[in-house]
Amino acid sequence: MGHESIETTKRYEHIAHEIIAVENCNSHLDNIYLK
């Protein structure tokens, strides 16, 4: 169980990083278009 929970945590961390990257990219594009 411990090993599976670690793998799941890593997977969620990866997904979270992907979401953060997309949000940062979108805000960056917004800044470009707003100027």
* Domain membership of residue 9 as a residue range: 1-35
pLDDT of residue 13: 96
Q: Is the pLDDT of residue 34 over 90?
A: no
The model's pLDDT over 11-31, given as tens digits with 9 standing for 90+, comes to 999 999 999 998 888 887 777
Three-state SS string over 1-35 comes to: CHHHHHHHHHHHHHHHHHHHHHHHHHHHHHHHHHC
What is the residue type of 26? N
Number of domains in the chain: 1
Q: Is the pLDDT of residue 1 over 70?
A: no
